[in-house]
Amino acid sequence: MKKPFQLLTFLLITLSCFMSFGQTPTKNTDQAYIFFLHNRFIEEHDLNEAHPEYGRAEYNEILNSFKADNFIVYSEKRKKNTNAAEYAEKVVRQIHKLLKKGVKPNKITVIGTSMGGYIAQYVSTYLANPEVNFVFIGCFRDIDIEEIPDINFCGNILTIYEKSDVFGVSAIRRKETSKLKVNHFREIELNTNLKHGFLYKASDEWIVPCKKWANGNYDLN
């Protein structure tokens, strides 16, 4: 049982996350938007709980890093046992709302870590808009081709994986088997030796490439 102050703090943080998912887009045509989809651990635990191996997931720090660079960030703490494909449909509806308001598709970036990355892959498939940006982080294994055959990459795709992480490897195979249009495709292999824990941290090693991608820098220079 949480203490009253801890419970209030958790509820306020969670409410803030849910409210952010429905932000009103700015009239600035150059404004860039990020949908950030977190990993499964955050879905199943309180934000102040630490993973026994990887430590605390720095969810708010990650969001604040994007916000500090003037991105409008859409994110929320998902409910436990969220269905990835169904949740992706919710994100697609949010993106369609932005597009209808005149936001250019290349100003929208969907970033997902671990399970959030699988949701982002479904968003890419369902949205099927080759101008929208996507970053898939630590969320592909070779067996996915057989086990999740209904995913097709579409858009400007950046994948980021850690050399020591068995849960995320190069997604070249998925790109090659995808039937939809991929305008830009890049991969980054990190070598932090943090295994899957690298994506728990608000680390510039993966956040900076995300920001560049979201700003349309597809060469990552």
48-94: per-residue pLDDT in tens?
Answer: 999 999 999 999 999 999 999 999 999 999 999 999 999 999 999 99
Span between the terminal Cα atoms of the chain, in Å: 48
Q: What token pair was written down for 77?
A: 């703490």
CB 114 within 8 A of CB 82: no
Specify the pTM: 0.89
Residues listed for the chain: 221
Residue 165 has pLDDT above 60, yes or no: yes
Please state, in angstroms and rounded to a whole number, the distance separating the CA atoms of residues 57 and 5.
21
- Model confidence band, residue 21 (pLDDT cutoffs 50, 70, 90): low
pLDDT tens figures, 139-164: 999 999 999 999 999 999 999 999 99
- Supply 159's token pair: 């994948």
Task: Write phi, then psi, for 31 (nearest 5 degrees).
Answer: -65, 135
- Name beta bridge partners: 155: 182
Q: What is the pLDDT of the chain when averaged over all its residues?
A: 91
Q: Is residue 182 within 8 Å of residue 153, measured between CB atoms?
A: yes
Answer whether residue 208 shows pLDDT above 70: yes
Average pLDDT over residues 171-199: 97
Mapped onto helix, strand or coil, the DSSP state of residue 56 is strand
- What pLDDT score was predicted for residue 28? 78
Provide the pLDDT for residue 25: 65
Q: Above 50 in pLDDT, residue 14?
A: no
User: In the numeric block, which tokens belong to residue 115?
Assistant: 């399970």
Q: Is the Cβ–Cβ distance between 153 and 181 less than 8 Å?
A: no
